Structure 1
Amino acid sequence: MTTEEEAPAVSSAGAPARLAARTRNLRKVYGKTVAVDHVDLDVPVGAVLGMLGPNGSGKTTTIRMLLGLVLPTAGTVELLGHRMPDGAGWALPEVGALVEGPGFHPFLSGRDNLLRVAAAEPRLASKDIPRAVGQALERVGLSAAANRRYRGYSLGMKQRLGLASALLIPRRFVVLDEPTNGLDPAGTREVRAVVADLHASGTTVLVSSHLLAEVEATCTHVAVLHQGSVVAQGELAELLEAGDAGVLVSTPDVAVAVDALRDNRIPAREAPGGVRVDLAATTAPEVVATLVGAGVAVHEVRRQRTGLEELFARLTESAEQGPRLSEVDTFEEARDDARR
């Protein structure tokens, strides 16, 4: 690619400037197995998007297609304004990625492995490589183990080195596939801090994870995948707010309160500390008025928001049950073994 070459244009309906990446009708089929089924994914610029889903839900396959590592069976992918995979040469230099765990030379040290990666980085001048490598190692907490051979690294240390390779230079877009895999609590906190730092600098981050607590703590947006399809996506706060909104009423008259509300067709149930009331078809003032009118002593009314774990369970459990798509992860390996 020369400076005179012009980057391939995106489609006439190209990604809006507010989107760092998007897919439309994305589909991937391996033989008779559907790995990803008509996925429409939007990744807003500057967001930290958590891609959630059970094992085999299509998260890694979607990421592979997003980065041009796997060709889709159908649909389109646009990354940083470029149609993939044709625009990979223009988009990928702006992207740092850790996908399905790092792959390094086992007999080289962590530092030497990272130096080899840095030498292939087109946007990193040779004179700046040692400094960039040192900063990346320090950023992920591997400075003390930098000169140890990679084969002696723990799983968590290997994850850290892979993360360091994605952060050698400033990126517009960073993709992290299960970045906390194998990390202890301290390492997990460090990764959380790295993600927060990237977000603060304006970098768009896509994090694939099955750890709901980590996603809720670090992400601004979320996309939930199940059996190869997106079942929900959007701003995390809005999705949680759109869940089963309710209030917790503190009262000593629990049984009377539940009966009074149900008599007025207001869903309610006993809960720790009082009564949990569903606000899907009513309002908090109406709940209080109903209880007071029934002679119930109301000590406190607190708004309750759906937690991510509850939202995730409801979205995935409501989806149609089918074959586990985790079989897709080994499909290509099994095919290669059969050919040998």
Structure 2
Amino acid sequence: MTEQGAAAVGTAAARTKGLRKVYRGTVAVDNVDLEVPTGAVLGMLGPNGSGKTTTIRMLLGLVTPTAGEVELLGEKMPDGAAKALPEVGALVEGPGFYPFLSGRENLLRFGAAEPLLATADVPNAVGAALERVGLTAAAGRRFRGYSLGMKQRLGLAAALLVPRKFVVLDEPTNGLDPAGTREIRTIIADLHAAGTTVLVSSHLLAEVEATCTHVAVLNQGTVVAQGELSALLEAGSGSLLVTTPEATAAVDALRDQRVPARPTPDGVRVDLSATTAPAVVEALVRAGVPVYEVRKQRTGLEDLFARLTEASSTADMTELDTLIAEEAR
């Protein structure tokens, strides 16, 4: 990260307060207080129907909140949209382009409407954006012939035509193969290194864990956890990996103390939800079990996500999805 980006983290590039959205009596988002630190890469997670995309749409002024406040790059939304949105690049719910035009022609039209881009600079900016997302070779093909992954790439190129202060990516790896997913990870890392704030909504927990500095978890329309990713993972109970040649004796000794443990190829894995690392070591030493190494393994994002959302309703979200789509039209 650049010094500028590192220094900026801590202020808010975007925030919501008491955000609420109701579609014909159905609550999609309820009392969401979200903060996106400047210079951070924030991963927005949640089960289907948790309110992620609706929250993003309200953040960008695409949907009017039923209640609550939205601030984007220091501007109150939607009144400050004219000042804030030129500094924002967004790929939300899939890109929309003219199907009969080529990828390059579509981007040229985006560039012509870009307030931060001089007319003379549009062709070069389009060429650079196409190269950045790996679409140079397919730039002359009509959009309707693009695969889902290529459409996603073109949408990302449109969002990155000019340097942005804030970039919003809703499921950016949708339809991409593993190579394309790695390229998106690199682009996000480059944006982060330049001090750009990035908000990523994704269902790929491994990608979020690999690319994001912060996370916000939504469940049933509200935020159930948010903060620095490392801090949230450390806050989980985690487990302790104990290297010992006497795994069976170690498991027996710990179970005598009502501490959950199971054998591993090199020793035992101990659940720390109801105990501490020093207590585990003490119990093993007292039982005469040789301990070669002890190291804590933090909670993975998948485990944390499951723990935070396990109470999620399994109700059918078809009605809510239909209402959202109708309002968007």
Q: Taking structure 2 as the reference length, what is the TM-score of the superposition?
A: 0.92
The answer as to whether partners of 1:27 and 1:73 remain within 8 angstroms in 2 is yes
2:254 paired with 1:254: no
Q: Per-residue displacement from partner, 1:111-161 (whole Å, max 9, x unpaired)?
A: 000000110011111000001000000000001111111111111000000
Amino acid of the structure 2 residue aligned with 1:321 = S
2:80 paired with 1:72: no
Q: Which residue of 1 aligns with 2:39?
A: 46
Aligned counterparts of 2:98 and 2:139: Cα–Cα separation in 1: 14
Aligned counterparts of 1:259 and 1:185: Cα–Cα separation in 2: 43
Decide whether aligned partners of structure 1 residues 335 and 302 sit closer, same or farther in structure 2, where only a CA change above 3 A counts: closer
Q: Which residue of 2 aligns with 1:227?
A: 220
Q: Which of 126, 131, 137 matches 1:133?
A: 126
2:293 paired with 1:310: no
User: How far 1:280 sits from its partner (Å)?
Assistant: 4.4
Deviates more, 1:41-50 or 1:295-304: 295-304
2:51 paired with 1:34: no
Decide whether aligned partners of structure 1 residues 326 and 223 sit closer, same or farther in structure 2, where only a CA change above 3 A counts: farther
Q: Which of 130, 138, 148 matches 2:141?
A: 148
User: How far 1:262 sits from its partner (Å)?
Assistant: 3.9
Q: Which residue of 1 aligns with 2:75?
A: 82
2:201 paired with 1:208: yes
Q: Which of 267, 273, 283 matches 1:290?
A: 283
Aligned counterparts of 2:308 and 2:226: Cα–Cα separation in 1: 11
2:323 paired with 1:321: no
Q: Per-residue displacement from partner, 1:15-47 (whole Å, max 9, x unpaired)?
A: x97000011111101012111111111100000
Aligned counterparts of 1:312 and 1:336: Cα–Cα separation in 2: 29
- What CA RMSD, in Å, does the superposition of the two structures yield over aligned residues? 1.9
Q: Could you say what secondary structure the match of 2:182 adopts?
A: helix
Amino acid of the structure 1 residue aligned with 2:178 = P
Aligned counterparts of 1:124 and 1:116: Cα–Cα separation in 2: 12
Amino acid of the structure 2 residue aligned with 1:48 = V
Percent same amino acid among aligned pairs? 74
Q: Per-residue displacement from partner, 1:179-228 (whole Å, max 9, x unpaired)?
A: 00001111111111110000000000000000001101110001111111
2:87 paired with 1:94: yes
2:160 paired with 1:179: no
The answer as to whether partners of 1:57 and 1:326 remain within 8 angstroms in 2 is no
Name structure 1 gaps, 5 residues minimum.
1-15
Deviates more, 1:296-305 or 1:149-158: 296-305
Q: Could you say what secondary structure the match of 1:248 adopts?
A: strand
Deviates more, 1:91-100 or 1:325-334: 325-334
2:329 paired with 1:331: no
Aligned counterparts of 1:176 and 1:336: Cα–Cα separation in 2: 18
Q: Could you say what secondary structure the match of 2:149 adopts?
A: helix
Decide whether aligned partners of structure 1 residues 302 and 179 sit closer, same or farther in structure 2, where only a CA change above 3 A counts: same
2:258 paired with 1:270: no
The answer as to whether partners of 2:255 and 2:261 remain within 8 angstroms in 1 is no
Decide whether aligned partners of structure 1 residues 326 and 136 sit closer, same or farther in structure 2, where only a CA change above 3 A counts: farther
Aligned counterparts of 2:211 and 2:103: Cα–Cα separation in 1: 27
2:268 paired with 1:279: no
Name structure 2 gaps, 5 residues minimum.
1-8
Q: Could you say what secondary structure the match of 1:63 adopts?
A: helix
Decide whether aligned partners of structure 1 residues 271 and 330 sit closer, same or farther in structure 2, where only a CA change above 3 A counts: farther
- Size of the alignment, in residue pairs? 320
Q: Taking structure 1 as the reference length, what is the TM-score of the superposition?
A: 0.89
Aligned counterparts of 1:112 and 1:186: Cα–Cα separation in 2: 26
Q: Could you say what secondary structure the match of 1:187 adopts?
A: helix
User: How far 1:327 sits from its partner (Å)?
Assistant: 3.8
